[in-house]
Structure 1
């Protein structure tokens, strides 16, 4: 069964016959990208060699300072394995994708037509938001019967507020109004995180509101990091289809970003990322 590989060590990723090998650096330290003016490896790949079978690899996420060459890229392209790059601070920066295996001009034309039609675009955007709020409520309702009464009642009240925002979705006349409803629901959701995390965890990881660019505390940074992983997972699945990842419906398409992955990731972030964060923090 194929699975993603996450490489946090420094070194060189290379083809070894018909498999892959990570040659690690004996001294595993790294220079921040904005301080490196030479563009050379920080250390030689003179440490442990870790081979792994290419048949088990679905995708590779590079968090360390890792060298690659064109032979490796060609080999990965033949195997249909993408590379995702993250900078020194854990921000997603780029993807290296094989040539797209599924191409359909008809599908792309239909996708563009749905974006250009305000009515069709709004229908799809409402589905994304409705599914996202549905999964947010799933996460919250899991904790309602598991908390003591004051916290349980407060969490139930927040669920009712989000349900009220969800009920407004069908009547939203345009995308900005829809995104406002989603924003209010997410703000309400994030305000309940200290309740769901519990007092002990909330003291270690204080969290008042969602803040980005830059995240203001460790929990905000953890959410941003998890969300970036979710975007790449969704992008990987979009590339299995004939859809264009740059043409979206909820988020506005723009330059240098795969905005369709932002749309689809809204559905899965509460289940894949938020629940994983709760589990990590509660288990220490």
Structure 2
């Protein structure tokens, strides 16, 4: 997959011979170009067209984030994998019953993974989360197959996430309480972590989809949009409980992230400071590289590979009508 480079400081990124040079505080830091597949600019970074031309020739993506840690946009090299046959099938699926099938599978996978995350806390004597687990295993399982249009499926997805968020009060300490999910901008530390983590996962999915023949703009649960890569929104949803929220719960409950030390006081602690971002990014990347045993293939794989596997499952379904399920933490596939 290639490596990821994060730049969290202000500075200037340029080409220097056959390397990348990041200049900050009058000092140069050189980044060997070999194996780099994506660069995250998490602060104000100056670049030039010479650099963009060079990294485009190397098929490197650059993701830009704003002051609040929100995804702003991506420098996207020209497509290296194109398939007219698959593109036709993607469009056909969007306009057929297959869209409903795929959308249901996405929301079902979200529920399965939320269930597994919450069950971990239930097993460790946190019985208060049982109501949400029971709803997922009972009412939700019936309701998901009764929804026959995208709007109804998305409403059920919204209820699923809301029930998950309501369980946070039993998992997180009081200074990370979630009273209401607020996105742009976040209004407290936990909303800041959720928004930052979701943005990182969304851009990671953009980079992974780029390595396949799928078209970034054709989605099935979310409506296709001219201003975003909506397929990345679809594919990232199922991995949020596994990657984003497990990362948040670990960092907060083990006091690796603390409100007074890792959030900006001047904006009411609703933005991670540079140290906080670095801690979260490191944990996020470690989570992506964490291995599990894929029971179906009987071999170890990383969560990052699992995201790409979901892309291939979708491709096979579109081209060959091969039935599939999106990633399940419980089944390990």
TM-score range, shorter chain: 0.7 to 0.9
Q: Alignment partner for residue 239 of structure 2, among 245, 257, 268?
A: 268
Give the Cα–Cα distance (whole angstroms) in 1 for the partners of residues 174 and 161 of structure 2.
22
Query: For the residues of structure 2 that align with 1:209 and 1:183, how far apart are their CA atoms?
Result: 13
Instruction: Using the TM superposition, give the Cα deviation of residue 17 of structure 1 relative to its aligned residue in structure 2, in angstroms.
Output: 2.0
Residues in 2 aligned to 1:156 and 1:84: alpha-carbon distance in whole angstroms:
39
- Find 1:194's aligned residue among 169, 172, 196: 169
The residue aligned with 1:91 is: 70
Q: Retained in 1: the 8 A contact 2:109–2:238? A: yes
Give the CA deviation at 1:247: 1.1
Matched residue SS, 1:171:
coil
- The answer as to whether partners of 2:110 and 2:238 remain within 8 angstroms in 1 is yes
C-alpha contact 1:187 1:209 (8 A) present in aligned 2: no
The answer as to 2:124 corresponding to 1:146 is yes
Q: CA 1:183–1:166 in structure 2 vs 1: closer, same or farther (change >3 Å)?
A: farther
Corresponding residue number in structure 1 for 2:205: 234
Offset of 1:174 from its aligned partner? 1.3
- C-alpha contact 1:235 1:245 (8 A) present in aligned 2: yes
In 2, Cα distance between equivalents of 1:96 and 1:167:
42
Match of 2:103 among 125, 132, 150: 125
Unaligned ranges ≥5, structure 1: 27-45
Whether the 8 Å contact between 2:94 and 2:220 is mirrored in structure 1 is yes
Find the residue that maps to 1:61 and give its secondary structure: strand
Which residue in the other structure is 2:8 paired with? 8
How far did residue 58 of structure 1 move?
Answer: 2.1
Q: TM-score, normalised by structure 1?
A: 0.85
Q: Does 1:185 align with 2:165?
A: no
Q: What RMSD, in angstroms, separates the aligned Cα atoms of the two structures?
A: 1.5
Please state whether the residue corresponding to 1:12 is helix, strand or coil: strand
Secondary structure of 1:211 counterpart: coil
* Residue pair 2:60, 2:77 contacting (<8 A) in 1 also: yes
Q: Deviations over 1:147-175 (max 9, x none)?
A: 3xxxx222122111122213321221111
Name the SS for the 2:186 alignment partner: coil
Contact kept? 2:168, 2:177, Cα under 8 Å: no
Q: Does 1:215 align with 2:166?
A: no
The runs of 4+ residues in structure 1 deviating greater than 4 Å are none
**How far apart, CA to CA, are the structure 1 residues paired with 2:34 and 2:149?**
46
1:72 alignment counterpart: 51
CA contact (8 A) 2:110 2:237 kept: yes
Secondary structure of residue in 2 paired with 1:94: strand
TM-score by length of 2: 0.73
CA distance in 1, matches of 2:235, 2:61: 19
